[in-house]
Amino acid sequence: MASVLRTESLTKRYGALLVTDAVSLDIAEGELHAIIGPNGAGKTTLINQLSGELASDSGRVWFDGADVSALPIHQRARRGLLRSYQITSIFDDFSVLENASFAALGARRNAFKFWTPMLSDRQARHAAEEALEATGLRQHHGTAAGDLGYGERRQLELAMSLAAGPKFLLLDEPMAGMSVQESTAVIALLQRLKRQYTILLVEHDMDAVFALADRITVLVYGKVLFTGTPDEIRNHPEVRAVYLGEEEAAA
C-alpha cells in the first residue's frame, strides 16, 4: 500500500539531551501503526513533531505526498493530519452534538457564521452525527458534555476529531486513566475505525497495542530499535530485553 506519512531522520534536542534521534517511519494508508517504548523514550515528542506542535531540529515529514516539514500545526490539520486533542476543547455546557458540530465547523475554512446557530450548518451537523454514530455516542447527542463520564469524554474527543474530517489520526495514549471496561470499549471502537482512517497510536496498554496494531515501532532513548508486526515484536530478543529490564528496574 502507498505511504501516507513518512519521516526521514526526524530529530529533536533540548540542549545536550537528544529526545528523538533520527527517527524514520513509513506508514501505509489504512494502517494502524503503534509506537511503544519505555518512559522517556521520546514518544510524545515525536507525536508533537508530526503534528507540527513542535519544530524539529532536523529531518523531514512527508504527508499525503507533500513535504509538510515547515508547516505549522493548523496547516497540517487543514490537510487532514490531526492530533486528537488539538481540536477537542470540550465545552461542558454544550451538548455532545454541538461539541462535535463545532469541531466540524472549525475544520473548514471560513466556516464560522456566528450570527446563525451552529447546528443549522447542515454539512457540519451531518459530519458530527456520523462521528457520533462511529464512536457509539449517538444516544448521547443531546446530553451536556459536562454530564459525561471520563471514558465517554474521551470518546467525545475522538468523535470531535472524526467530525473534522481527518485523513490521519495521531492518538497519544487515548486509554490513559480508563477503567478496564472503558478501555475495552475504546479498543472495540478503534477496531471499527481501522482501515477507515490511518492511525498512529502511542499507548502504554500492551494488550491494546497487540490487539490493534498492524505494525509496531519500538522507540528507546529517542531512537527506533525495531519495527515489525506484533508477532515479530513479541519474539524480538532486544525488545524483550528492554521491557524486561524496565520491569526489573521498577520492581
> For 173-188, how does the pLDDT look when each residue is reduced to its tens digit (9 = 90+)?
888 888 888 888 889 9
Does the model's pTM come out above 0.85?
Answer: yes
Question: 3-class SS at 41?
Answer: coil
pLDDT of residue 80: 92
Domains of the chain, residue spans: 1-80+167-251, 89-165
Report how far residue 30's alpha carbon sits from residue 215's, in angstroms, rounded to the nearest whole number: 12
pLDDT of residue 250: 40
Alpha helices in 6-108 (DSSP H): 43-51, 73-78, 96-106
> In sequence order, which residues have a C-beta less than 8 Å from that of residue 41 and are 6 or more positions away?
219, 220, 221, 222
Q: Which three cell numbers stand for residue 191?
A: 477496531
Say if CB 69 and CB 89 are below 8 A apart.
no
HSE (side-chain half, CA atoms, 13 Å) at 37: 25
The confidence band for 249, taking pLDDT boundaries of 50, 70 and 90, is: very low
Report how far residue 221's alpha carbon sits from residue 18's, in angstroms, rounded to the nearest whole number: 8
Q: Does domain 1-80+167-251 have CATH number 2.60.40.420?
A: no
Per-residue pLDDT reduced to its tens digit, 129-155: 999 998 889 999 999 999 998 888 888
Report how far residue 229's alpha carbon sits from residue 216's, in angstroms, rounded to the nearest whole number: 6
The confidence band for 19, taking pLDDT boundaries of 50, 70 and 90, is: very high
pLDDT of residue 230: 94
Report how far residue 170's alpha carbon sits from residue 161's, in angstroms, rounded to the nearest whole number: 10
pLDDT of residue 116: 52
Report how far residue 241's alpha carbon sits from residue 9's, in angstroms, rounded to the nearest whole number: 25
pLDDT at 112 over 70: no
pLDDT of residue 49: 96
Report how far residue 151's alpha carbon sits from residue 157's, in angstroms, rounded to the nearest whole number: 10
pLDDT (average), residues 47-56: 95
pLDDT (average), residues 228-247: 80
